[in-house]
Structure 1
Amino acid sequence: MKPGDHVVLFFKVSGNQTLSEKISTNLVLPQNWQILTQKTDNPKGQKSEETYVYTVNTPSQAEAGEYTLVFTVSENGFVKARKEIRIIIERVRKLEVTPLSFPEYLREGDVLKVEYLIQNLGNEKEKLTLKTSRGKIESSKDEYVLEKNESMKVWVKQDIGYSDENMWLATSDLTLGFKDTSEVIYQVKSIPVYANKNKKNDPYLRFPIEVSVLHNSYSGSTVNRQGLQYEVKGAGYLDFSRNNFLSFLAHGPSQTGFPYLGTYEQYSLRYTHKESSLTLGDYNLQISNLLELSRFGRGFKFDQNFKKTSFSVFFIEPRFYPDIKRSLGGSFFYKASPNIVLGFNYVSKFQVNNQVNAQDTFWANILSTTIGIKKENFWLDAELSGSQGNGRADFGVYSSLSFNKNNFRIYNNIVYAGKQFYGFYNNSWLLNNSVHYAISKKITIGVINNYNRINPGLDSTVYSQSPFYVGNVAEVIYRVNKLSRVVLSYNLLHREDRFEPKKFDYKEEFLRYTYFLNTLKFNLWLDGNYGYTHNLLVSPDISNRKISIRNMIQPEVKIGNGLSIGMNLEYLRTNRFSLKNEVQNYLYYGGTLRVQVKKYFSLSVMYRNNYAMDEFTERRTFFDMQATLNLRNHQLSLIGSQAYFPNVAQQNTLYFGLKYTLKINAPIAKNKRLSTLRGQIVGPENTRKEGILLQIGDQKFITDANGKFVFNNLVPNKYYVNVVRSSMNVDDIAAIQTPVEIDLKADSISFLNIPLTKSGAIIGKIQYEKSQFESDISKNKPNILAKLYNEKESFVTQINKEGNGFSFKEIKPGKWKIQVWIPGNQGKYLIETAASSELNIEPESRQELNFKVKIAERKIHFTENTFRLTAKE
């Protein structure tokens, strides 16, 4: 049976002789079960056999499980016969999610808050997880427990972003999940969002330009340099149809004595027309993973896209890679299907033969074919390439694969380039594999293998050179909750300096622990390991290995909306860097500070005293600061840095840069097809029409003494006119739905009248009636919702805390309908009203409605052989 259902039980009592009038029967029920009717077919003392009929009703919230009903026959107070009836109540899982409180509309940049009512209308306690795909749930927990017939409310909050449209829909959603099933309950609510600024109301087509002056200061133990640079950049459309786009950058002059990114001159221009693009001057060339992954130089590049194919051609002279004098080539791509793309690439490089001398040059030609496959659970990016140059041929291979199915996650990455391969890599091997399996939602196990001996051809301005590395890891990941996780791993690794003389070459075997905690106000990272280090700089004998210990803590606290403070502390005890194989102690410490004052000022500061020796294979920052002041069209930035640069002789240098930027939104064309909107506030004499504020995006207008308004120079588009409620009298209200949508045509004048009227109100009163079979309903009041609606608008509210009423205020006059209901009622309650559900709201009226709530009583209709159970009217 399901909870709330009824069952009819027939008991036949028989004896060897006529049944005595002293015979009595009794049906014992579980707690809260009810006997609706009972009858017998014969008077006692007339026959030796009697039939007893009981109609039994189960509680609507009866828990799932087995229940026992006991029927007894007694004579003179002694039980003569006993019969047990076992009834199984099914589990009913029924939860309802109702958006309860939400705004009529929003402005971009606002915060959307929606209150959801969650009710457990089933017959068992439920353990829930709540998720939202947008924003966050206030007072979020890993798990919620909701008893049967219990409800709770949660707020879902999200920031509303910005769009290129004047109006769009923002959606708030809430998903209920369960541990014992993959099924979910999903509820979504959409709210209209209106722009603060009309996206197309500027009569001019403007081209954003930034003009900057940068003063550089660079000092060290033996050097002190000053420099001044300029920068002019811009990016924007050249026509109202947005078919032509131009971007440019002019930065100079070069200051190569500053080992800091961006101190060299750069002159770049990029023009795009629909699906065609032309790049001139300095640009970063990226062809494929094997041919040219990143090469900064001067030349040109042309790209053309079609529906199924695309191609590009280029010429470049690398500026910071002396082994290549110039390169030219191109690419062709074919979209075989929505998930598969094939590519063909060719590059010809005028190369320096460093094996002979810097004067010996040759042309190297490289071809490659690529394939890209992207599906829901699988993606592959692969390339096969061959090169020929200096009388020798060689090849390269690249592959990156990911597979994710059910609880398995597999990743593989391969790079191979021969000794005579003249692409981006040379004489390189990279092999990276990982396999992870999720045992449960909380526990994942995995193994990782890394083998890295790559030699990428990097520009001299890229301060990075990875060491030779071999690593094998077996790990267990435990997700404590959605905010924190723990990783335990067993590690075997070998790290070797690629330069001579070597500063490190060691093997390690250790156990590692890592803990992450990420909350809205506090983040924490703990990391450490304990094991053995074998210093290969000293001896290949493994018996010389020694104990190595490392511990690191990195917390960060967020104070308010614009301030965060963090620190890091690391202790290392190891022999890996000692030429005498001695165990040495190292202590590294530092901190971070971030400040954000609205959109006007931002500051970030980072400091660290030092790094481990094997970490100096890339640019490492000891001190970094950036402060920015924004004042409309002006920006002032202060940049500071002290860093280590690999392969740079002068170290421990301090850099400061002061940059002033002027932002110019230059008009380049005027729209000659502008529109005008004229209108007037109208209504009864007792409504105020003067001084009412109307708004279209960022444009505002206050009505004159006659209630008239005008908006000029509007670009033809769809707009939304809003009447600011705070500028009207308390009882006044727009008689039409606002914001008002209006579509303005080119070179035209449109008219709009906005009528005002006096608002009305509805007061609803709830009365509770007692039931014959159950306790007083007023002591256990159900959740009651009321909805007021018409063809265009609808409003939902809940009864007040006292449970005796609700109200709708500031309602537009007109015809409305009202509905009062109990979510998940299932026929248990009846709601009666003394008035019709269709209402006619008059100006300045106040209507009171009375609703009676009572538990539905059962009425049984008997016939000769059957009966029918209905709700009693």
Structure 2
Amino acid sequence: MFKVVTTLFLFSLLIKSPQPGPGDLEVRLINDKRKEMAAGFTSNVLIMLLNNTDTIKEVNLKLNTSSYNWKKIENDSTIQIQKRSSLNKIISIYIPENTRAGDYSIELMAFDANGNRFGNVSIPIYVKPRYEIIVEKQKAPTYLFSDDSLGVVFRIRNLSNIDVMVTSSIINGRIIENRNFKIPMDSSILTKVSVSVPKNLSYYTKQNISLSASVNDKPEVESSASYLFDIIPSGKVKFDGYNRFPVKVTAIFATNNRMEKRDYGIMLDIVGSGQISEKKNRRLEFHLRGPDRGGNPTLGLNDEYYLNYSSSSTRISIGDNNYRLSDLTESSRSGRGIELQQSFGKFSVGSFFHFPRYYPGIKHILAIYTDYKINQKMRFSAGYLNKSNSKNEISNLLSISGIINPFSWGNTEFELAMGQKPGQMTKAYKFSVNINKSIFASHFNITKADPGFSGYVSNSSYLSSGITANLKKKMSISLNYDINRSNLNLDTIYSNAPYSKNINLMTNYRMSANNTVGFGAYIITMEDRSPNPLFNYKKYNGRLSFQSKFRRISINFQAELGKIINNLGVKNGDLTDFYNGSFFLRYRFNESVSATGFLNYQGGQQYLITGTQRFYYGGTLNASFRKKTQISFDYRNNYEMKEYYRDRSLLSLQIHQKINSNHEFELGANYNLLKNSLNKKELSMQIRYTYTINIPLSKKKDVGSLTGKVINMGVGQVNGVIFNLNGDITMTDKNGNFEFPMVKVGTYILAMDESSTGLNAIACVPGPYMIKIEPGRETQFEISLTRAARIKGRLVIKEDEKSGKKGFFPIKEEIENLIVEASNGTETFRTLTFRDGTFNFDDLRPGSWHIKIYPNGIPQGYILDKDQFTLVLTLGKEENLDVIIFKKAREIKLQHTF
């Protein structure tokens, strides 16, 4: 037993007795790794104190944090260490909440009993970021009028202990805008949001402007604030008691030289479109334009006549339309014919027959189709199409297609088609799938059609595929592969795009909220499909792109460098150098005016041109003034050769002027490069005048209107008086007129906000007021404002005539809180007398008022001389009333003793 005790004692000494150190007393940091601490909290640090002497020692510890204003929580009492031993000590440090995040080093000093410092340790500390922001709204009006505009201001405060990047989302009606800010620690920024109210608003509404902000590095830290405005309608909107059908009649003067000869012509264009039922479930559209002036639909110079009718279950089209069955059989064909479609719940059937207008190879087309919609995520269609060509050959096509979207992150579409014409059976198919889930997105679209397929496509191969991965919040990588060898049976006013093949690898890095840089590697093949091709090349190149946005300025920059194989050149297949650069700038002057400009540079050997440098430049200017005048101007000096298959605009000017709701004027000028040419140009101009006719169809059965007037009977002003009709709000103009232009039929309560009538103003007739709105009629209401009268009264106490005589003593009790009532027959008000016996009635309507004094509460010994009075009040006057109360003296008789 003795050996065991001896062994345990020696083992404990070995653990607790430190090895002799360089000094008698030592202080050590047990863990010298960097400590992570949170601002606004207390954190602990563990140290070791060693006494290498044979005597008990006393030490003091002091934390040197004067430069950081940190505090050691423990008191500075003396610490006692036994001889030849060590002591572990926990030091608690409070880090103030406003300490900036980052690396720090603080010094802990140790002193002996005599105040001599015998050691110190440096404690590495990392203060962790603490994120907090607050969005506050600044003062703004509670209501706006129609056509008003103002700016509301939000303040975003950074209460974090670090500078933060903040993304804010502003919802202004239907407009969503994102803004980004860098806010230093303990600072704030102000951001202004422009609010505009539509002109001639016919109904009361509310508009909400909200701003929600979040920290980019910690999106869960967010804050929001919002403004809610009452929007008061314009008094300029007049009630219309009829349901009307708008018809626009336009006279067109047009000129062009497309056929190398200047032609002039006048056309008449009549368009009608609108609802033709009270429930707005039936719609009618028609268009009549003629005579034909050049047959170019892109410029609106062709004649066009159609009539469309649609309801919840039926659709009928007669005349000129774009007829469609499916992507493979007949995607879009301009023709003159008829189409009928009928729906039976989830199932619908339809058919059309037409004569193509701009494809002479086809005489007529007949189609029958059906559609079954299982639910919002699944739908299937089938169709049959019969077409006859100019050689009287008949082609028959069958198509089955569908949409299947089983998941929210993916969707698929497909179509299978078979074609049969004399001596030949052909097929075509189309399939697409799109996936967008979390950090992964992908798409795959393929179309194939056999040679001789008699549908909208033939002898075609089309593939578009790609995959994108968002590796981090700021970085994405995508790989795409596309092939386009489509042959579309387009109307002759259009042309097929060149054959192309493209494979690329791209990465984008978002340096900040407004700046993105991208890198890419590309292999591009382009082949002109015309009988005498102008280009056929293959490019290998790298591309650098940069996008930036700063306030009103947006900038895009792109640079390319690579090799090109020109398969039409003299040295077929040789690799030559090329380099391209482009710069795009957009500047928004204000909400109404913006401008863009671009500059493209091409250098090296491209197309059939060798050793050339080519500049392409242009710009646009768009302006809108008071929503009545729109101006658009576009200019560019030229186009690349690969775009020659289509019409290209070199110069365009469009001016649209709305004179009022019925009259409009428009001027258009276009200077174009014609399709399939490099230098053939056309100058066309149009002048349009439009008059709108609103044809009455029926009297409105569910709405009416309320117009009112406030009559001034001696008050300062009658404008700005607010009326509330069952929650809808409007306000009087300078003449006291107000209006609720569109109100559903029924009985309403109209209330006047008396706080808006001004000082000492009062309505002659008390409210609220019962209003009945009748269908298609204008209800009128009048109310007079006059100056309010006032009654000022007092209780007058009179002594009994016997008071003061021998044997009579006055009663000295005070009289207060007597009930006084004022009534004019329709209104009754009550008040209490004050301690000094006075009372008031303010804001009384002029007229006869009956005043009654209730004797309840009068002490014994007091008698009312008169408890009822009649006063005739005049506008703006004050009437004084004295209420006499007699103080009755008491006689005290002394009884003589016998």
Normalised by the size of structure 2, how large is the TM-score? Answer: 0.69
In the TM superposition, what is the alpha-carbon distance from 1:191 to its structure 2 partner? 1.1
1:499 aligned residue (509, 530, 546): 530
1:185 aligned residue (214, 217, 222): 222
1:602 counterpart residue number:
630
1:783 counterpart residue number:
none
- Structure 1 residues 791-830: aligned runs within 5 Å: none
Is 1:531 the counterpart of 2:562? The answer is yes
Is 1:227 the counterpart of 2:265? The answer is yes
2:378 counterpart residue number:
341
Name the SS for the 2:642 alignment partner.
Answer: helix
Q: Counterpart of 1:361 in structure 2: which amino acid?
A: E
1:276·1:305 contact (CA, 8 Å) conserved in 2? Answer: yes
Identity of aligned residues (%): 22
1:341·1:372 contact (CA, 8 Å) conserved in 2? Answer: yes
Name the SS for the 1:130 alignment partner.
Answer: strand
Is 1:401 the counterpart of 2:437? The answer is no
Deviations 1:297-324 (A, max 9, x none): 1222233456544443322222212233
1:200·1:715 contact (CA, 8 Å) conserved in 2? Answer: no
1:155 counterpart residue number:
191
2:327 counterpart residue number:
289
Whole-Å separation in 1 of the counterparts to 2:749 and 2:262 = 60
For structure 1, which segment, 470-479 or 671-680, has the greater mean C-alpha deviation from structure 2 after superposition?
671-680
1:511 counterpart residue number:
542
1:446 aligned residue (478, 481, 491): 478
Going from structure 1 to structure 2, the CA distance change for 1:205 and 1:89 (only over 3 Å counts) comes to same
Whole-Å separation in 2 of the counterparts to 1:649 and 1:77 = 96
1:125 aligned residue (162, 173, 195): 162
- Structure 1 residues 277-426: aligned runs within 5 Å: 277-305=315-343, 308-338=346-376, 340-352=377-389, 358-373=390-405, 375-426=407-458
In the TM superposition, what is the alpha-carbon distance from 1:702 to its structure 2 partner? 5.1
For structure 1, which segment, 235-244 or 111-120, has the greater mean C-alpha deviation from structure 2 after superposition?
111-120
In the TM superposition, what is the alpha-carbon distance from 1:425 to its structure 2 partner? 0.7
1:571 aligned residue (592, 601, 623): 601
2:492 aligned residue (454, 460, 471): 460
1:262 counterpart residue number:
300
1:486 counterpart residue number:
517
Going from structure 1 to structure 2, the CA distance change for 1:743 and 1:234 (only over 3 Å counts) comes to farther
Whole-Å separation in 2 of the counterparts to 1:541 and 1:336 = 57
Deviations 1:714-757 (A, max 9, x none): 5538999898999965x68999xxxx999965459698989999
1:126·1:145 contact (CA, 8 Å) conserved in 2? Answer: yes
2:309 counterpart residue number:
271
Structure 2: runs of 5 or more not aligned: 1-36, 81-86, 789-842, 844-898
2:851 counterpart residue number:
none
In the TM superposition, what is the alpha-carbon distance from 1:426 to its structure 2 partner? 0.7
Q: Counterpart of 1:535 in structure 2: which amino acid?
A: N
Whole-Å separation in 1 of the counterparts to 2:784 and 2:65 = 65
Name the SS for the 2:293 alignment partner.
Answer: coil
Going from structure 1 to structure 2, the CA distance change for 1:282 and 1:197 (only over 3 Å counts) comes to farther
2:255 counterpart residue number:
217
- Structure 1 residues 586-601: aligned runs within 5 Å: 586-601=614-629
Going from structure 1 to structure 2, the CA distance change for 1:105 and 1:692 (only over 3 Å counts) comes to closer
Root mean square deviation of aligned Cα: 5.1
Whole-Å separation in 1 of the counterparts to 2:350 and 2:324 = 11
2:791 counterpart residue number:
none
1:656 aligned residue (685, 688, 701): 685
1:208·1:663 contact (CA, 8 Å) conserved in 2? Answer: yes
1:495·1:507 contact (CA, 8 Å) conserved in 2? Answer: yes
Going from structure 1 to structure 2, the CA distance change for 1:77 and 1:383 (only over 3 Å counts) comes to same
1:810 counterpart residue number:
none
In the TM superposition, what is the alpha-carbon distance from 1:266 to its structure 2 partner? 0.9
Name the SS for the 1:583 alignment partner.
Answer: strand
In the TM superposition, what is the alpha-carbon distance from 1:329 to its structure 2 partner? 2.6
1:108·1:193 contact (CA, 8 Å) conserved in 2? Answer: no
Whole-Å separation in 1 of the counterparts to 2:346 and 2:554 = 47
Q: Counterpart of 2:579 in structure 1: which amino acid?
A: I
Whole-Å separation in 2 of the counterparts to 1:539 and 1:742 = 92
For structure 1, which segment, 293-302 or 745-754, has the greater mean C-alpha deviation from structure 2 after superposition?
745-754
Is 1:470 the counterpart of 2:501? The answer is yes
2:539·2:565 contact (CA, 8 Å) conserved in 1? Answer: yes
Whole-Å separation in 2 of the counterparts to 1:155 and 1:205 = 44
Deviations 1:161-193 (A, max 9, x none): 6599642442412221232x4424142425144
Whole-Å separation in 2 of the counterparts to 1:392 and 1:72 = 102
Whole-Å separation in 2 of the counterparts to 1:299 and 1:426 = 25
Structure 1: runs of 5 or more not aligned: 44-49, 353-357, 759-812, 814-873
Going from structure 1 to structure 2, the CA distance change for 1:658 and 1:16 (only over 3 Å counts) comes to closer
Name the SS for the 1:134 alignment partner.
Answer: strand
2:463 aligned residue (419, 427, 431): 431
Instruction: Give the number of aligned pairs.
Output: 733
Normalised by the size of structure 1, how large is the TM-score? Answer: 0.71
1:625·1:641 contact (CA, 8 Å) conserved in 2? Answer: yes
In the TM superposition, what is the alpha-carbon distance from 1:618 to its structure 2 partner? 1.4
1:553 counterpart residue number:
583
Going from structure 1 to structure 2, the CA distance change for 1:204 and 1:439 (only over 3 Å counts) comes to same
Name the SS for the 1:385 alignment partner.
Answer: strand
2:252·2:268 contact (CA, 8 Å) conserved in 1? Answer: yes
Whole-Å separation in 2 of the counterparts to 1:376 and 1:719 = 46
1:626 aligned residue (635, 639, 654): 654
Q: Counterpart of 1:387 in structure 2: which amino acid?
A: G
Name the SS for the 2:472 alignment partner.
Answer: coil
Going from structure 1 to structure 2, the CA distance change for 1:175 and 1:111 (only over 3 Å counts) comes to farther
1:475·1:488 contact (CA, 8 Å) conserved in 2? Answer: yes
2:645 counterpart residue number:
617
In the TM superposition, what is the alpha-carbon distance from 1:233 to its structure 2 partner? 0.5
Whole-Å separation in 2 of the counterparts to 1:9 and 1:621 = 74
Whole-Å separation in 2 of the counterparts to 1:377 and 1:745 = 50
Deviations 1:327-366 (A, max 9, x none): 233433333343x2222221322232xxxxx434113122
Q: Counterpart of 1:526 in structure 2: which amino acid?
A: F
Going from structure 1 to structure 2, the CA distance change for 1:585 and 1:689 (only over 3 Å counts) comes to closer
1:114·1:172 contact (CA, 8 Å) conserved in 2? Answer: no
Going from structure 1 to structure 2, the CA distance change for 1:144 and 1:321 (only over 3 Å counts) comes to same
Deviations 1:458-482 (A, max 9, x none): 1122x33211111222223233444
Going from structure 1 to structure 2, the CA distance change for 1:433 and 1:40 (only over 3 Å counts) comes to closer
- Structure 1 residues 76-91: aligned runs within 5 Å: 76-78=114-116
Whole-Å separation in 2 of the counterparts to 1:320 and 1:720 = 62
In the TM superposition, what is the alpha-carbon distance from 1:129 to its structure 2 partner? 1.8
For structure 1, which segment, 277-286 or 197-206, has the greater mean C-alpha deviation from structure 2 after superposition?
197-206
For structure 1, which segment, 510-519 or 54-63, has the greater mean C-alpha deviation from structure 2 after superposition?
54-63
Whole-Å separation in 1 of the counterparts to 2:550 and 2:122 = 56
Whole-Å separation in 1 of the counterparts to 2:78 and 2:94 = 21
2:168·2:180 contact (CA, 8 Å) conserved in 1? Answer: no
2:131·2:221 contact (CA, 8 Å) conserved in 1? Answer: no
Whole-Å separation in 2 of the counterparts to 1:576 and 1:519 = 35
In the TM superposition, what is the alpha-carbon distance from 1:641 to its structure 2 partner? 1.4
In the TM superposition, what is the alpha-carbon distance from 1:152 to its structure 2 partner? 1.2
Going from structure 1 to structure 2, the CA distance change for 1:605 and 1:723 (only over 3 Å counts) comes to farther
Whole-Å separation in 2 of the counterparts to 1:625 and 1:311 = 45
Whole-Å separation in 2 of the counterparts to 1:437 and 1:306 = 44
User: Larger radius of gyration, structure 1 or 2?
Assistant: 2
